[in-house]
Structure 1
Amino acid sequence: MRYAAILLLFLLVNTTGGWAQSTLNGTIRDSLTQKPLELASVFLANTTYGASTNASGQFTIKNVPAGPYDLIVSYVGYQLFKRRITVGNGAQPLELLLTPSAQQLKGVTVRPNPNRESDYQKFAETFLGRTSFSRQCRIRNPDAVLVAFDAEQNQLTASSPTFVQVDNDALGYRVKYYGLEFTLNFKQQYVSFYGWPVFEEMTPRRNKQRQRWLTNREKAYRGSLTHFLKSVRDNDLAQQGFLVRKLRIVPNPRFARTDSLRKALLRARRNQALTAAEMDSIDRWVKMPPNFSMLYMAERPIDSLRRAEFTPKRVYLRFSDYLQVSYLREAPDPLYQPARPFGAPPGPVARPIRQISLLTLTQPEVEILPNGQLVEPLAVLTDEYWAFEKMGELLPLDYQPPPSTTPR
């Protein structure tokens, strides 16, 4: 099944990309007894920065770049702790209190997960993705995922009371995805999921594997939404290999005028009171698209994509309608199957030779930070190639690509 508009959401940490670095340290305690909690996991979401507490409940995270982060603390028997913090210069001691979970207070017995195998497989396939890199990802704790299907809503949902661990052997990361909230809506044809992932570098078995991971990480970054947004902020789209055009989705007036007739014909077909000619007519109405896409061939000027302030420098993504974003330096993944465009005639869809994505805003504008992240990640919707890429291409926000070389 191909989703016409796929929404992929992460609650991302927003780092400034500055050079200043700091040390985070603090103590984790029980909110009721004030007892220090040993071996609590403390991390900055969507990065590789993290630590565990010692016997005194203390932790230290060194060399953290300045900027805003989501600080997450996980400990068995306690509610997941979340706090937005801003890292500045110098040491920043924190005193954090964890609340016992309801299961711990009431002594609730944890029962086996009653997931249906087919529901879980659909979740796993959609969550991990269908790319070549996604095929090298594995969920290591499937029993931690709770999947449910609502027949009335025609919707599959999934969550986890702890975390979902994904080992990505394509990029060399072990990802623990906390607070998962996943929705796959078959009726409205969209998928969304969000949470707080933390990354751990896997240990390569040999240097050849390490080099493969480095190569694949750069491949996952080049042409990604993060790469594109950073290029918009830095005003070097063409130098980075991006071509941006405006796309409008407009209603098909003929479809609107004939919709009532189409419905009448379909009712007649259910009653089996149609001639062969009338059946052919139904087929034509059914195939008529409700919308058409209009692509403007001129490349969009940078001022139509962003609003910039220079004292201090702040850049906002801002545009109307849709953007068609082509990445010209890399072919699509061999497993990518493009969707049929609005209004396209029946038959096979031509395979693109470039990575082509669609982007639209859910609000008038959103700030882009220096590392290519958005202050509000939920402000954008992606479709086509960016919607195709999922966990297989997910990188931590502290990933630094090698310097760009001569354009390919």
Structure 2
Amino acid sequence: MEIVGDRDRAAAADRRYYLSIFYQYFLGDTKNYECKLVNPESLRFRREGDRVIASAALPLVIQNLKLGYTLTYYLDYFIFNDTKQFRSAGKNQCFFTYQGVALFEEMKPESPVRTEMWNTNRHKAYAGSLGNFLSCLYGNDLHRGQYTVLKAGIPDSSKVAKWLASLEAQANRPKFLIDSVFYFNEAAGQPGYLPYAPQFPFPVFTHTLQTEKPFCRSMKFNDSLLVFKNKRDTAVLWDDEISLFVIGNGELEFYPNGDYQIFNGDLLWSSLESMKKIIQSLPMNFQPVSN
């Protein structure tokens, strides 16, 4: 005979486990302290095979005490791949993804010390953002921001052949390599990989033009770009923060401070490699305070 109390205890244990996953991989705060979910009762969890899926009956209210914002977050989905393979592979290999819309409201600091702390933390979180990338791009100085831009996909054979021919005289000619980044394919509803060729940086600045507006450049491109932000000051790409950058058929105008607007297109700037969490999130129009 099955005892109802045992089922209730098992369900409660499952929910505690699912909440711990949500706090760690969505909020980025395992203790739910610096980045606090005020209404966890709004979350609904279900398991589909190896996946833990979360949805919300009501908008989530989140207090980010690290950056000084209260967020109202309209969660579309949160998916975590709960397998031993991902749990044992290390935090940067652990697959999770989420999507939603966040509304930010600034908290009122109780002291100048708190204001200074928020400004410092916001400035750190700003590095690697779309605004920071566009600010560096405006001055054709991606090196300053430690950015590398590559086209998602495999280059055409003629480009590869030309590159290999240019290296013919070298004694140790490098092999042509294809690498890839892990991401969630929304159309297929499952994780996948985006290939890229590290040897072929995308000349993104050549796709920009100075407009008639003062201090304003515009750009157009139909490619899907991978923007690598060197967060650990190493030569390799695999430990960078990686963002997918797409503007489709639209035109993007941007300014020296990183502010921007999109015309006739859909802008996508999405963090890949399971690194970006709510505790690091800023409003899209955030501008750092100058020292």
Sort the TM-score into its range (normalised by shorter chain). Answer: 0.5 to 0.7
Contact 1:307–1:317 at 8 Å: present in 2 too?
no
Contact 2:71–2:102 at 8 Å: present in 1 too?
no
**Is residue 18 of structure 2 the alignment partner of residue 158 of structure 1?**
no
Residue 131 of structure 2 is matched in structure 1 by 226
2:108 & 2:43 partners in 1: Cα distance?
Answer: 23
Q: In terms of mean alpha carbon deviation, does 389-398 or 215-224 score higher?
A: 389-398
Counterpart code for 1:127: F
Residue 244 of structure 1 is matched in structure 2 by 148
Residue 244 of structure 2 is matched in structure 1 by 359
Residue 172 of structure 1 is matched in structure 2 by 68
1:310 & 1:359 partners in 2: Cα distance?
Answer: 29
Residue 358 to residue 158, structure 1, CA distance change in 2 (3 Å): same
SS at match of 2:125: helix
1:135 & 1:250 partners in 2: Cα distance?
Answer: 44
Mark the runs of 5 or more structure 1 residues left unpaired by the alignment: 1-112, 252-289, 333-337, 342-351
Query: Residue 194 of structure 1: which of 97, 100, 106 is its match?
Result: 100
Contact 1:157–1:182 at 8 Å: present in 2 too?
yes
2:260 & 2:33 partners in 1: Cα distance?
Answer: 27
**Is residue 35 of structure 2 the alignment partner of residue 148 of structure 1?**
no
**Is residue 282 of structure 2 the alignment partner of residue 395 of structure 1?**
yes
Residue 310 to residue 296, structure 1, CA distance change in 2 (3 Å): farther
Counterpart code for 1:125: Q
Residue 212 to residue 382, structure 1, CA distance change in 2 (3 Å): closer
1:356 & 1:168 partners in 2: Cα distance?
Answer: 21
Mark the runs of 5 or more structure 2 residues left unpaired by the alignment: 1-10, 83-94, 156-192
SS at match of 1:399: coil
Deviation at 1:166, TM superposition (A): 1.4
SS at match of 2:141: coil
| Identity level (%) | 19
Determine which structure has greater relative contact order: mean sequence separation of CA pairs < 8 Å that are 6+ residues apart, divided by chain length. 1
- The within-5 A match list for 1:4-403 is 116-129=15-28, 136-151=34-49, 154=51, 156-161=53-58, 163-177=59-73, 179-184=74-79, 186=81, 189=95, 191-204=97-110, 206-232=111-137, 234-238=138-142, 240-247=144-151, 249-250=153-154, 293-296=196-199, 300=203, 302-304=205-207, 306=208, 309-310=211-212, 315-316=218-219, 318=221, 320=223, 322-327=225-230, 331=232, 352=239, 355-361=240-246, 363-365=248-250, 367-368=252-253, 370=255, 371-372=259-260, 379-384=268-273, 387-403=274-290
1:377 & 1:138 partners in 2: Cα distance?
Answer: 31
Contact 2:79–2:98 at 8 Å: present in 1 too?
yes
Larger radius of gyration between Structure 1 and Structure 2: 1
SS at match of 1:388: coil
Counterpart code for 1:359: L
TM-score, length-normalised on structure 1? 0.44
SS at match of 2:282: coil
Counterpart code for 2:107: E
**RMSD (Å), alpha carbons:** 4.2
2:136 & 2:261 partners in 1: Cα distance?
Answer: 11
TM-score, length-normalised on structure 2? 0.59
Contact 1:229–1:373 at 8 Å: present in 2 too?
no
SS at match of 1:357: strand
How many corresponding residue pairs?
225
Contact 1:135–1:392 at 8 Å: present in 2 too?
no
Deviation at 1:156, TM superposition (A): 0.5
